[in-house]
Structure 1
Amino acid sequence: MSRALKVFHQLQIAHSALFRAADHRTRNQIGLSTTQLAVLFILSRTDGQPISEISKTLAMGKSSLTGLVDRMCAKGLVRRSPSQADGRVINIYLEQLGRDALEEGARETKKFNTALLAPFSDAEQDIIGQFLTHLAENADDIINAPPPSAKGDAGND
Protein backbone atom coordinates (compact mmCIF):
# COMPACT_ATOMS: atom_id res chain seq x y z
CA MET A 1 0.00 0.00 0.00
CA SER A 2 1.43 3.39 -0.94
CA ARG A 3 2.09 6.09 1.68
CA ALA A 4 -0.63 8.28 0.16
CA LEU A 5 -3.21 5.61 0.88
CA LYS A 6 -2.27 5.58 4.59
CA VAL A 7 -2.45 9.34 5.25
CA PHE A 8 -6.09 9.41 6.32
CA HIS A 9 -5.60 6.54 8.76
CA GLN A 10 -2.35 8.04 10.08
CA LEU A 11 -4.10 11.37 10.66
CA GLN A 12 -6.87 9.61 12.56
CA ILE A 13 -4.43 7.74 14.79
CA ALA A 14 -2.26 10.82 15.34
CA HIS A 15 -5.29 12.97 16.18
CA SER A 16 -6.57 10.43 18.72
CA ALA A 17 -3.18 9.94 20.38
CA LEU A 18 -2.37 13.65 20.45
CA PHE A 19 -5.68 14.77 21.89
CA ARG A 20 -5.77 11.93 24.41
CA ALA A 21 -2.32 13.02 25.69
CA ALA A 22 -3.23 16.73 25.58
CA ASP A 23 -6.52 16.11 27.37
CA HIS A 24 -4.73 14.18 30.11
CA ARG A 25 -2.18 16.98 30.54
CA THR A 26 -4.68 19.86 30.51
CA ARG A 27 -6.90 18.06 33.02
CA ASN A 28 -3.89 17.56 35.33
CA GLN A 29 -2.33 21.01 34.83
CA ILE A 30 -5.35 23.32 34.69
CA GLY A 31 -8.35 21.16 35.52
CA LEU A 32 -9.96 21.47 32.09
CA SER A 33 -10.50 19.12 29.19
CA THR A 34 -9.15 20.12 25.79
CA THR A 35 -12.74 20.64 24.65
CA GLN A 36 -13.42 23.03 27.54
CA LEU A 37 -10.21 24.84 26.69
CA ALA A 38 -11.31 25.03 23.04
CA VAL A 39 -14.58 26.69 24.12
CA LEU A 40 -12.55 29.29 26.03
CA PHE A 41 -10.34 29.92 22.98
CA ILE A 42 -13.41 30.35 20.76
CA LEU A 43 -15.00 32.80 23.20
CA SER A 44 -11.74 34.73 23.50
CA ARG A 45 -11.96 35.49 19.78
CA THR A 46 -15.67 36.39 19.84
CA ASP A 47 -17.28 36.53 23.26
CA GLY A 48 -21.03 36.09 23.63
CA GLN A 49 -21.65 33.38 21.05
CA PRO A 50 -24.70 31.12 21.05
CA ILE A 51 -24.10 27.44 21.72
CA SER A 52 -25.13 26.67 18.12
CA GLU A 53 -22.17 28.69 16.77
CA ILE A 54 -19.70 27.17 19.22
CA SER A 55 -20.96 23.68 18.36
CA LYS A 56 -20.44 24.37 14.63
CA THR A 57 -16.91 25.58 15.24
CA LEU A 58 -16.09 22.49 17.31
CA ALA A 59 -18.05 20.11 15.05
CA MET A 60 -19.85 18.93 18.17
CA GLY A 61 -23.50 18.19 18.86
CA LYS A 62 -25.43 20.96 20.62
CA SER A 63 -26.67 18.60 23.34
CA SER A 64 -23.11 17.46 24.19
CA LEU A 65 -21.90 21.03 24.20
CA THR A 66 -24.80 22.11 26.43
CA GLY A 67 -23.66 19.66 29.12
CA LEU A 68 -20.08 20.84 28.75
CA VAL A 69 -21.16 24.49 29.10
CA ASP A 70 -23.27 23.53 32.17
CA ARG A 71 -20.12 22.17 33.83
CA MET A 72 -18.13 25.26 32.79
CA CYS A 73 -20.82 27.54 34.25
CA ALA A 74 -20.73 25.56 37.50
CA LYS A 75 -16.95 26.16 37.67
CA GLY A 76 -17.43 29.89 37.05
CA LEU A 77 -15.53 29.83 33.74
CA VAL A 78 -18.40 31.07 31.56
CA ARG A 79 -21.92 32.41 32.00
CA ARG A 80 -25.12 32.23 30.00
CA SER A 81 -27.04 35.37 29.11
CA PRO A 82 -30.08 35.90 26.87
CA SER A 83 -29.28 37.56 23.55
CA GLN A 84 -30.38 41.18 23.36
CA ALA A 85 -31.27 40.68 19.69
CA ASP A 86 -33.35 37.52 20.22
CA GLY A 87 -34.45 36.54 23.72
CA ARG A 88 -34.87 32.91 22.65
CA VAL A 89 -31.12 32.66 22.06
CA ILE A 90 -28.72 32.18 24.96
CA ASN A 91 -25.19 33.49 24.48
CA ILE A 92 -22.13 32.23 26.31
CA TYR A 93 -19.66 34.72 27.81
CA LEU A 94 -16.24 34.35 29.38
CA GLU A 95 -15.96 35.04 33.08
CA GLN A 96 -12.74 36.14 34.80
CA LEU A 97 -11.97 32.58 35.97
CA GLY A 98 -12.33 31.49 32.34
CA ARG A 99 -9.93 34.22 31.19
CA ASP A 100 -7.42 33.11 33.84
CA ALA A 101 -7.76 29.46 32.78
CA LEU A 102 -7.39 30.55 29.15
CA GLU A 103 -4.05 32.23 29.92
CA GLU A 104 -2.82 29.02 31.52
CA GLY A 105 -4.21 26.99 28.62
CA ALA A 106 -2.47 29.24 26.10
CA ARG A 107 0.85 28.60 27.85
CA GLU A 108 0.22 24.84 27.73
CA THR A 109 -0.79 25.01 24.07
CA LYS A 110 2.38 26.94 23.24
CA LYS A 111 4.39 24.13 24.87
CA PHE A 112 2.45 21.57 22.80
CA ASN A 113 3.16 23.47 19.58
CA THR A 114 6.86 23.82 20.39
CA ALA A 115 7.19 20.11 21.18
CA LEU A 116 5.22 19.07 18.07
CA LEU A 117 7.41 21.10 15.73
CA ALA A 118 10.80 20.64 17.46
CA PRO A 119 12.04 17.81 15.22
CA PHE A 120 11.36 19.76 12.02
CA SER A 121 13.31 22.47 10.19
CA ASP A 122 11.71 25.85 9.49
CA ALA A 123 11.06 24.78 5.88
CA GLU A 124 9.41 21.54 7.04
CA GLN A 125 7.32 23.48 9.57
CA ASP A 126 6.12 25.72 6.73
CA ILE A 127 5.06 22.64 4.74
CA ILE A 128 3.28 21.18 7.78
CA GLY A 129 1.44 24.48 8.20
CA GLN A 130 0.47 24.51 4.52
CA PHE A 131 -0.74 20.91 4.72
CA LEU A 132 -2.87 21.51 7.81
CA THR A 133 -4.32 24.73 6.38
CA HIS A 134 -5.10 22.90 3.13
CA LEU A 135 -6.93 20.18 5.07
CA ALA A 136 -8.91 22.63 7.18
CA GLU A 137 -9.95 24.78 4.22
CA ASN A 138 -10.65 21.97 1.76
CA ALA A 139 -11.74 18.97 3.83
CA ASP A 140 -15.22 18.72 2.31
CA ASP A 141 -13.92 18.99 -1.26
CA ILE A 142 -11.12 16.51 -0.59
CA ILE A 143 -13.41 13.88 0.92
CA ASN A 144 -16.47 14.44 -1.26
CA ALA A 145 -14.80 15.05 -4.62
CA PRO A 146 -16.14 12.91 -7.43
CA PRO A 147 -14.00 9.82 -7.99
CA PRO A 148 -11.35 10.09 -10.69
CA SER A 149 -12.48 8.82 -14.06
CA ALA A 150 -11.95 5.14 -14.69
CA LYS A 151 -10.03 6.02 -17.87
CA GLY A 152 -6.45 4.84 -17.50
CA ASP A 153 -6.99 3.50 -13.99
CA ALA A 154 -7.05 -0.18 -14.96
CA GLY A 155 -4.75 -2.27 -12.83
CA ASN A 156 -4.21 0.40 -10.14
CA ASP A 157 -6.27 -1.20 -7.38
Structure 2
Amino acid sequence: MTEPRWLSDDQQRWWRAYLEGTARFVDALDRAHDDGVPLSLGEYHLMVQLSEAPGRTLRMSELADCLALSRSRLTHTVDRMERRGLVRREPVPGDRRGVNCVMTDAGWDLLVASAPHHVEAVRRYMVDVLTPEEFEVLGRAMAKVAREARRALG
Protein backbone atom coordinates (compact mmCIF):
# COMPACT_ATOMS: atom_id res chain seq x y z
CA MET A 1 0.00 0.00 0.00
CA THR A 2 1.24 3.49 -0.83
CA GLU A 3 2.16 5.87 1.96
CA PRO A 4 -0.48 8.63 2.35
CA ARG A 5 0.56 12.15 1.37
CA TRP A 6 0.16 13.62 4.84
CA LEU A 7 -0.63 17.28 5.26
CA SER A 8 2.18 19.54 6.43
CA ASP A 9 1.72 21.36 9.72
CA ASP A 10 0.71 24.53 7.84
CA GLN A 11 -1.71 22.63 5.60
CA GLN A 12 -3.23 20.91 8.64
CA ARG A 13 -3.66 24.26 10.40
CA TRP A 14 -5.37 25.87 7.36
CA TRP A 15 -7.54 22.80 6.76
CA ARG A 16 -8.79 22.84 10.33
CA ALA A 17 -9.33 26.61 10.18
CA TYR A 18 -11.39 26.08 7.02
CA LEU A 19 -13.53 23.39 8.69
CA GLU A 20 -14.13 25.45 11.82
CA GLY A 21 -14.72 28.67 9.87
CA THR A 22 -17.22 27.01 7.55
CA ALA A 23 -19.11 25.36 10.40
CA ARG A 24 -19.26 28.55 12.46
CA PHE A 25 -20.21 30.71 9.45
CA VAL A 26 -23.06 28.39 8.46
CA ASP A 27 -24.21 28.24 12.10
CA ALA A 28 -24.18 32.06 12.31
CA LEU A 29 -26.22 32.31 9.09
CA ASP A 30 -28.67 29.68 10.34
CA ARG A 31 -29.13 31.66 13.55
CA ALA A 32 -29.60 34.88 11.60
CA HIS A 33 -32.29 33.14 9.57
CA ASP A 34 -33.94 31.87 12.75
CA ASP A 35 -33.99 35.44 14.08
CA GLY A 36 -35.24 37.36 11.07
CA VAL A 37 -35.82 35.30 7.95
CA PRO A 38 -38.79 32.93 7.76
CA LEU A 39 -36.81 30.61 5.48
CA SER A 40 -34.06 28.19 6.45
CA LEU A 41 -30.70 28.83 4.84
CA GLY A 42 -31.33 25.91 2.46
CA GLU A 43 -34.79 27.19 1.55
CA TYR A 44 -33.40 30.67 0.97
CA HIS A 45 -30.71 29.31 -1.35
CA LEU A 46 -33.38 27.35 -3.26
CA MET A 47 -35.50 30.49 -3.63
CA VAL A 48 -32.51 32.48 -4.90
CA GLN A 49 -31.83 29.83 -7.56
CA LEU A 50 -35.46 29.98 -8.70
CA SER A 51 -35.52 33.78 -8.63
CA GLU A 52 -32.60 33.92 -11.06
CA ALA A 53 -34.06 31.36 -13.49
CA PRO A 54 -36.25 32.34 -16.46
CA GLY A 55 -39.87 32.40 -15.32
CA ARG A 56 -38.62 31.63 -11.78
CA THR A 57 -38.73 27.99 -12.87
CA LEU A 58 -36.18 25.15 -12.84
CA ARG A 59 -36.42 21.42 -13.45
CA MET A 60 -36.20 19.55 -10.17
CA SER A 61 -33.09 17.69 -11.40
CA GLU A 62 -31.40 20.98 -12.34
CA LEU A 63 -32.35 22.53 -9.00
CA ALA A 64 -30.93 19.54 -7.11
CA ASP A 65 -27.66 19.95 -9.00
CA CYS A 66 -27.51 23.73 -8.37
CA LEU A 67 -28.02 23.18 -4.65
CA ALA A 68 -25.76 20.10 -4.39
CA LEU A 69 -28.68 18.13 -2.92
CA SER A 70 -29.87 14.61 -3.53
CA ARG A 71 -33.16 14.47 -5.41
CA SER A 72 -34.75 12.89 -2.35
CA ARG A 73 -33.64 15.70 -0.05
CA LEU A 74 -34.80 18.31 -2.57
CA THR A 75 -38.19 16.58 -2.83
CA HIS A 76 -38.67 16.82 0.95
CA THR A 77 -37.65 20.49 0.96
CA VAL A 78 -39.96 21.33 -1.94
CA ASP A 79 -42.80 19.41 -0.23
CA ARG A 80 -42.48 21.67 2.83
CA MET A 81 -42.25 24.82 0.76
CA GLU A 82 -45.17 23.79 -1.44
CA ARG A 83 -47.38 23.32 1.63
CA ARG A 84 -46.48 26.90 2.61
CA GLY A 85 -47.45 28.17 -0.84
CA LEU A 86 -43.91 29.32 -1.72
CA VAL A 87 -43.39 27.03 -4.71
CA ARG A 88 -45.42 24.67 -6.86
CA ARG A 89 -44.55 21.74 -9.08
CA GLU A 90 -45.61 21.58 -12.70
CA PRO A 91 -45.00 19.00 -15.41
CA VAL A 92 -42.31 19.88 -17.94
CA PRO A 93 -44.04 20.52 -21.27
CA GLY A 94 -43.21 17.73 -23.72
CA ASP A 95 -41.55 15.54 -21.08
CA ARG A 96 -43.93 13.22 -19.25
CA ARG A 97 -41.36 12.39 -16.57
CA GLY A 98 -39.91 15.86 -15.99
CA VAL A 99 -41.10 18.13 -13.18
CA ASN A 100 -40.46 21.85 -12.80
CA CYS A 101 -40.30 23.74 -9.53
CA VAL A 102 -41.89 27.17 -9.88
CA MET A 103 -41.66 30.04 -7.40
CA THR A 104 -45.08 31.48 -6.56
CA ASP A 105 -45.81 35.16 -6.12
CA ALA A 106 -46.00 34.52 -2.36
CA GLY A 107 -42.54 32.91 -2.54
CA TRP A 108 -41.18 35.90 -4.46
CA ASP A 109 -42.64 38.33 -1.92
CA LEU A 110 -41.10 36.37 0.97
CA LEU A 111 -37.70 36.24 -0.75
CA VAL A 112 -37.75 39.99 -1.41
CA ALA A 113 -38.69 40.66 2.23
CA SER A 114 -36.01 38.25 3.53
CA ALA A 115 -33.12 39.34 1.30
CA PRO A 116 -31.97 42.42 3.27
CA HIS A 117 -31.65 40.44 6.52
CA HIS A 118 -29.82 37.59 4.76
CA VAL A 119 -27.41 39.90 2.95
CA GLU A 120 -26.65 41.79 6.15
CA ALA A 121 -25.75 38.49 7.86
CA VAL A 122 -23.50 37.44 4.95
CA ARG A 123 -21.78 40.83 5.12
CA ARG A 124 -21.44 40.71 8.90
CA TYR A 125 -19.99 37.21 9.12
CA MET A 126 -17.90 37.05 5.94
CA VAL A 127 -17.72 39.90 3.43
CA ASP A 128 -16.90 42.65 5.94
CA VAL A 129 -14.50 40.39 7.88
CA LEU A 130 -12.28 39.86 4.84
CA THR A 131 -10.49 42.33 2.62
CA PRO A 132 -11.85 42.48 -0.95
CA GLU A 133 -8.75 40.59 -2.08
CA GLU A 134 -9.23 37.84 0.52
CA PHE A 135 -12.90 37.51 -0.42
CA GLU A 136 -11.99 37.18 -4.11
CA VAL A 137 -9.30 34.57 -3.37
CA LEU A 138 -11.75 32.62 -1.21
CA GLY A 139 -14.39 32.70 -3.94
CA ARG A 140 -11.96 31.63 -6.65
CA ALA A 141 -10.56 28.84 -4.47
CA MET A 142 -13.99 27.47 -3.57
CA ALA A 143 -15.15 27.63 -7.20
CA LYS A 144 -12.12 25.51 -8.09
CA VAL A 145 -12.87 23.04 -5.28
CA ALA A 146 -16.53 22.85 -6.34
CA ARG A 147 -15.58 22.16 -9.99
CA GLU A 148 -13.22 19.36 -8.99
CA ALA A 149 -15.72 17.79 -6.59
CA ARG A 150 -18.48 18.01 -9.22
CA ARG A 151 -16.18 16.38 -11.78
CA ALA A 152 -15.14 13.61 -9.38
CA LEU A 153 -18.74 12.84 -8.42
CA GLY A 154 -19.85 12.72 -12.05
Q: Say yes or no: TM over 0.5.
A: yes
Alignment partner, residue 44 of structure 2: 37
Structure exhibiting the larger radius of gyration computed from Cα positions: 1
The verdict on how the C-alpha distance between 1:2 and 1:51 changes in structure 2, with shifts beyond 3 A counting, is same
Q: Could you tell me which residue of structure 2 aligns to residue 99 of structure 1?
A: 108
Identity among equivalent pairs (%): 24
2:19 counterpart residue number: 12
Q: In structure 2, how many angstroms separate the alpha carbons of the residues matched to 1:125 and 1:113? A: 12
Structure 1 residues not aligned, in runs of 5+: 145-157
Query: How far does residue 24 in structure 1 lie from its aligned partner after superposition?
Result: 2.3
Output one character per residue of 1:124-152: Cα deviation in whole Å (capped at 9) or x when no partner: 333334333333344467x89xxxxxxxx
**How many Å separate the matches in 1 of 2:50 and 2:150?**
25
Distance 1:50 1:121, change over 3 A: closer
SS at match of 1:119: coil
- In the superposition, the TM-score normalised over structure 2's length comes to 0.78
Give the number of aligned pairs: 143
Please give the alpha-carbon distance, in whole angstroms, between the structure 1 residues aligned to 2:28 and 2:15: 20
Secondary structure of the 2:69 match is: coil
Cα 1:29/1:3, change in 2 over 3 Å: same
- Any unmatched runs of 5+ in structure 2? 1-7
Structure 1 counterpart of 2:78 = 69
2:85 aligned partner, one-letter code:
G
Structure with the greater relative contact order (CA < 8 A, sep ≥ 6): 1 or 2?
2
Which residue is equivalent to 2:127? 117
Comparing 96-105 with 121-130, greater Cα deviation is found at 121-130
1:83-98 to structure 2, matched below 5 A, reads 83-98=92-107
Q: How far apart are the structure 2 equivalents of 1:16 and 1:120?
A: 17
Partner of 1:150: none
In 2: Cα distance, 1:68 partner to 1:119 partner: 31
